[in-house]
Amino acid sequence: MKKLDEISTVLFVCKDVVETGTSVLGDEITSELMSLNLDTDIKLLDTYRKRFFELKTIYGKLQKYPDIFSSFYNPTAIPDEDALEYHVHSFLADTYAYREKVSGLLGKIQNSIPRELKEDRDALESIKKIFLDNFEPITKIRNNHTHVIVDNGWYLDDGVLKVRNYKSSLAFLNMDGIRETVNWKYVNEKMAKEQEEANEELEKSKERWIKNSTEVLSMVENTVPKIFKAISFTIYRTLNINAAADILTKHFIK
């Protein structure tokens, strides 16, 4: 995500120069930047800066999910099915948040382009559509998890559901008044098989979410930097900091 880091750095330094008349970069570069007499919308610049910081923060979380789905906690403290369900919810929420943050930032940049520059505004609209289309597969997965399906009722991952069904059945069979009437020879064989099948299904679910999170991360890494590389000039132009961006890129952004 090198391009996003570059844009964030340019925004941070320009804000520093405009607000304080200095920067963390030393006298030579600061003097060059000060000589430009930057005339920018500091509020808009700071909005962009905060949005890029949010993207970096959420991206950092997305990077962790393949490992998170690979290894859970002490199952005696937090059962694996509970851990999986929690992380699925968290992953889908962070993925959706990233989608909305990028889409919102692109919309903000588009609205900052003067209306007479229709081609530029249309180009931003096309880029936003491409980005949202790339997110469509995971959006469908999220919708299946967060909306009630009439036939199925409240959503649950298959692995989580099977393990909970097994544990619920076992708890029922061990209830006072029920336990004494159970044919345990038959039930023990049946429940051992159900436990094995439930655990296998839970492992399949974990593998599925490792795959989902890896694919989302790959899509983000292959799409987002290209988008912001294509529109970085537009971002700098809407803020009137093109010349400052050129200086900073030439000096220290490799």
Q: Which two tokens stand for residue 246?
A: 């050129």
Burial profile 166-203: b = 16 or more Cβ within 10 angstroms, e = fewer:
beeeeeeeeeeeeeeeeeeeeeeeebeebbeebbebbe
Q: Which letter, b or e, does each residue of 26-52 get, where b requires 16 or more Cβ atoms within 10 Å of its Cβ? A: eeebbebbbebebebeeeebeebbebb
Average pLDDT, stretch 206-228? Answer: 91
Residue with tokens 């700071």: 46
Neighbours of 234 (CB within 10 A): 20
- Spatial separation of the C-alpha atoms in residues 112 and 20, rounded to whole Å: 25
Q: Report the pLDDT value the prediction gives residue 66, as an integer from 0 to 100.
A: 93
| pLDDT 10s digits, 130-156 | 888 888 877 766 665 554 444 444 455
Which pLDDT belongs to residue 191? Answer: 87
What single DSSP character describes residue 179? G
Q: Is 149 helix (H, G, I), strand (E, B) or coil?
A: strand
Render pLDDT for 82-111 as a digit per residue (tens, 0 to 9). 889 899 989 999 999 999 999 999 999 999
Residue with tokens 């180009």: 123
Q: pTM for the whole thing?
A: 0.81
Q: Is 153 in a helix, a strand, or coil? A: strand
For residue 149, report the phi and psi dihedrals to the nearest 5 degrees: -100, 125
Q: Please check whether residue 110 is in contact with residue 128, taking contact to mean a CB–CB distance below 8 angstroms.
A: yes
Task: Assess contact for 154 and 148: CB atoms under 8 A.
Answer: yes
Task: Please report the pLDDT score of residue 131 as a whole number.
Answer: 87
Instruction: Give the best-scoring range by mean pLDDT among 25-29, 30-34, 180-184.
Output: 30-34
Does residue 240 sit in helix, strand or coil? coil
What pLDDT does 153 receive? 40
Cβ neighbours of 149 (radius 10 Å): 11
Partners of residue 149 on adjacent β-strands: 153
Give the number of residues written for the chain: 254
Q: Note whether 6 and 244 are within 8 A (CB).
A: no
